[in-house]
């Protein structure tokens, strides 16, 4: 079982959920016309699997503080970085690094834990777990509103997504948490073509001398 600090685990889950939504919108849009909200989620489950790799850079604002991060994905593997925190997952083992304590937790997550942090699982569950609506946008952006169904538990209670009408890439997401707190994410770049070597998703302790490894497996 993972024993991350609750707050940090929560923030990482929120970031991953949001970037999963960003990636979903990016691969689901069609240049032939404006897809409706349900079509975006429906196409995601099939098209996201066809993207060999995903790289996204973003900024996240919460409680008046802004932090930059990156997410790299390949299949069910991912690597997430935020200030003072990083997560590697190679499909079996998860390494969670906290630079403020210089500790790295090593675990093999249970399915219910992966459902909160694995972008592929989050994306796959969106179609059945959330209800999308297309809202009134602007001359530049389409606006989508996503609400989890009552029977589902996601890392947010609602999400607003702005999608650029020219590029069909998402420009902003505003997540509302069950606490009422809002988290805003803006993407700097989403790349669907760059390949990632397998080593990207494995923690290399030689790069972090002085860190304590805590094996929770």
What CATH number has the domain bearing residue 28? 2.50.20.10
* Predicted confidence (pLDDT) per residue in 68-77, tens digit: 888 888 878 8
Asked whether residue 76 is domain-assigned, the answer is yes
Residue 71, domain extent = 6-129+192-215
130-155 tens-digit pLDDT:
777 777 777 878 787 878 776 566 66
Rounded mean pLDDT of the chain?
75
pLDDT at 94 over 80: yes
Other CB atoms within a 10 A radius of the CB of residue 176 amount to 15
pTM of this prediction exceeds 0.85: no
Q: Return the bridge partners of 65, or none.
A: 62
Query: Within a domain: residue 85?
Result: yes
pLDDT tier at 209, thresholds 50, 70, 90: very high
Per the structure, the count of domains in the chain is 1
Are residues 23 and 74 in contact, defined by beta-carbon separation less than 8 angstroms?
Answer: no
Confidence at residue 3, expressed as pLDDT on a 0 to 100 scale? 39
* Helix (H) or strand (E) segment spanning residue 28: helix 6-28
Q: Are 78 and 89 in contact (CB under 8 A)?
A: yes
Residue 105 belongs to some domain of the structure: yes
For the ranges 3-7, 8-12, 74-78, 90-94, the one whose mean pLDDT is highest: 90-94
Q: Does residue 144 sit within a domain?
A: no
Q: Is residue 183 part of a domain?
A: no
pLDDT: which is higher, 214 or 128: 214
pLDDT of residue 97: 94
By the 8 A CB rule, do 62 and 181 touch? Answer: yes
Q: Which of 6-10, 56-60, 147-151, 199-203 has the lowest mean pLDDT?
A: 6-10
CA 176 to chain centre: 15
- Domain for residue 141, yes or no? no
Please check whether residue 12 lies inside any domain of the structure.
Answer: yes
- Structure letter (DSSP) for residue 211: P
- Per the DSSP assignment, residues forming a β-bridge with 176 are 158, 182
DSSP state of 32: T
Domain for residue 72, yes or no?
Answer: yes
Instruction: Report, as an integer, the average pLDDT of 176-183.
Output: 81
């Amino acid at each position: 079982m993972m024993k991350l600090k609750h707050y940090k685990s929560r923030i990482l889950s929120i970031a991953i959920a949001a970037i999963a939504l960003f990636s979903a919108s990016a691969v689901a849009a069609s240049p032939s016309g404006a897809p409706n909200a349900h079509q975006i989620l429906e196409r995601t489950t099939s098209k996201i699997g066809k993207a060999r790799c995903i790289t996204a850079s973003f900024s996240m604002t919460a409680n008046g503080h802004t932090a930059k991060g990156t997410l790299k994905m390949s299949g069910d593997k991912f690597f997430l970085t935020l200030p003072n925190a990083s997560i590697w997952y190679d499909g079996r083992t998860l390494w969670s690094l906290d630079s403020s304590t210089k500790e790295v937790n090593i675990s093999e997550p249970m399915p219910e834990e992966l459902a909160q942090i694995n972008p592929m699982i989050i994306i796959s569950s969106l179609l059945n777990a959330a209800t999308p609506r297309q809202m009134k946008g602007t001359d530049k952006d389409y606006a989508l509103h996503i609400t989890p169904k009552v029977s589902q538990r996601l890392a947010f209670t609602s999400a607003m997504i702005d999608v650029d009408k020219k590029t069909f890439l998402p420009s902003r997401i505003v997540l509302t948490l069950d606490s009422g707190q809002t988290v805003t994410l803006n993407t700097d770049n989403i790349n669907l073509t760059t390949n990632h070597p397998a080593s990207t998703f494995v923690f290399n302790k030689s790069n972090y001398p002085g860190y304590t490894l805590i094996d929770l497996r």
